[in-house]
Amino acid sequence: MKEKNSFVREVAEKKYEYGFTTNVETDIIEKGLSEDVVRLISQKKGEPDWLLQFRLNAFRYWLTLEQPTWGHLKMPPIDYQAISYYADPTQKKKQGTGEIDPELMKTFDKLGIPLEERMALAGTAVDAVMDSVSVKTTFREKLQENGIIFCSISEAVREHPDLVREYLGSVVPYKDNFFAALNSAVFSDGSFVYIPKGVRCPMELSTYFRINARGTGQFERTLIVCDDDAYVSYLEGCTAPMRDENQLHAAIVEIVVKERAEVKYSTVQNWYPGDSEGKGGVLNLVTKRGHLRGANSRLSWTQVETGSAITWKYPSCVLSGEGSQAEFYSVAVTNNYQQADTGTKMIHIGRNTKSTIISKGISAGKSQNAYRGLVKVASTADGARNYSSCDSLLLGSHCGAHTFPYMDVHNDTAVVEHEATTSKISEDQLFYCNQRGISTEEAVSLIVNGYAKEVINKLPMEFAVEAQKLLGVSLEGSVG
């Protein structure tokens, strides 16, 4: 366990250790967004016509939309023509040697994600994505023995077009929202997972997203399909270089869960948060949704959000299958000038569906941290149950914590509960720890981890330890 998954651990060692840039020959297309750019991306990826049409439809729809402003966020204006929508750092590979550029291997080594299988983290298969392209996916052959497909979505389009076509956009249609339309038009790489009927995935699957090139956006797309009676635990991690300008990251994650299947999706999000003055950082504008299609299916989202200048994401669940169960466990930490507007949507459609929301917001510095959640119970959802608990912890007096719970219940047999608390770390608590020999930073880490324990415990065990450290580090210097 010690050697495994060192990336989250290393993230935790320093304030922001992953601010470095990789010098690698990168094929970057001209800045700007137009139908031609959409066509060019599709062409570079050698896509079939149906996918090009999907992109073009999305793009044309996107043109009709305005960027949403309802978040509790001060969003800097985004110039969509000033961004490059495709950056491919895997030149050498393309030029026929078949080898991965050693610089890229080194980058992922440095991030703690060795891509050589013999050195890799035991028990975890990784899809490593830099900028717009998947660099390598480990353990593919081994997983294939069980019929499991784990590859980049670009490869999936080529090798499993029927599966991709059936499910892509089926959970998050391109008309869902502004950023979903944008992503559907220009999405580059991400992971594709298919777990066949009755298969319990023998290892953790994970995707590591890295933004490297300057002036680019990352538009990843992940699609997970878990067939009847199957199980998979999936983890994503992310980092980016430190840059003065904001970088746009607009992703879509779609998950399909069939009968009696179970998906656990964990995120440790550590995009560059900007400096202590609020300059730079990643704009993390993400649409994540799972569809519990099958009866008695299960899906849980667990997220530890410590990075990004702005986080706008609501991993959601549509509970159609009778007796399906969904969970959302979240810790969102904001420090300095970070802003987070995050939460979930639980849409109960099937009978006896059950959802749980545990949200822990931690705000420090001059940051703003909002929980926004919707619990919707359709008239068809007899016996639906939801329990929501949203807690906020404030460090200092210049930060803000906000809770926006929405409930929309159309069935009298439903039971929906909501609890919320706000607390603050007091000087007295810190001094008590100091007097016992515990430094202020360690004390904050202890208190914050105690507070977030309920969520951290939901992470795969090897990540939980590292997530704890990350929480402490993100808040370094936030008190006293």
CB of 474 to another protein, least distance (A): 17
By CB under 8 A, residue 424 contacts another protein: no
Member of 91, 380, 411, 434 binding another protein (CB under 8 A): 434
Burial 81-97 (b: 16+ CB within 10 A, else e): eebbbbbbbbebbeeee
Member of 36, 74, 442, 457 binding another protein (CB under 8 A): 442
C-alpha span between 156 and 226 (Å, rounded) = 15
Number of residues that this document lists for the chain:
480
By CB under 8 A, residue 426 contacts another protein: yes
Q: What H or E segment, with its residue span, contains residue 50?
A: helix 49-63
> Do the Cβ atoms of 454 and 329 come closer than 8 Å?
yes
By CB under 8 A, residue 329 contacts another protein: no
By CB under 8 A, residue 451 contacts another protein: yes
C-alpha span between 274 and 366 (Å, rounded) = 13
Segment contacting another protein by CB under 8 A, of 136-144, 223-231, 395-403, 422-430: 422-430
Per DSSP bridges, beta strands 204-210 and 124-130 are: parallel
By CB under 8 A, residue 429 contacts another protein: yes
Burial of 48 (0-12, 13-18, 19+ CB in 10 A): middle
Which residues 6+ apart lie within 8 Å of 48 measured at CB?
157, 161
CB of 17 to another protein, least distance (A): 22
By CB under 8 A, residue 35 contacts another protein: no
Burial of 244 (0-12, 13-18, 19+ CB in 10 A): exposed
Q: Which is nearer to another protein, 406 or 431 (CB)?
A: 431
By CB under 8 A, residue 423 contacts another protein: yes
Q: Which is nearer to another protein, 259 or 466 (CB)?
A: 466
Segment contacting another protein by CB under 8 A, of 45-53, 204-212, 394-402, 445-453: 445-453
Member of 46, 77, 96, 437 binding another protein (CB under 8 A): 437
Q: Which is nearer to another protein, 57 or 429 (CB)?
A: 429
Member of 102, 439, 457, 461 binding another protein (CB under 8 A): 439
Member of 78, 446, 465, 479 binding another protein (CB under 8 A): 446
Strands (E), 67-159: 87-88, 124-130, 133-137, 149-152
Q: Which is nearer to another protein, 59 or 451 (CB)?
A: 451
The alpha carbon of residue 192 and the mean position of all alpha carbons in its chain are separated, in whole angstroms, by 14
Residues within window 452-471 making contact with another protein, judged by CB under 8 A? 453
Segment contacting another protein by CB under 8 A, of 1-9, 165-173, 218-226, 449-457: 449-457
CB of 451 to another protein, least distance (A): 5
Question: How many CA atoms lie within 13 Å of 328's alpha carbon, on the beta-carbon side?
Answer: 32
> Do the Cβ atoms of 309 and 334 come closer than 8 Å?
no
- Name the site residues for another protein (rule: CB under 8 A): 423, 426-429, 431-439, 442, 446-447, 449-451, 453, 480
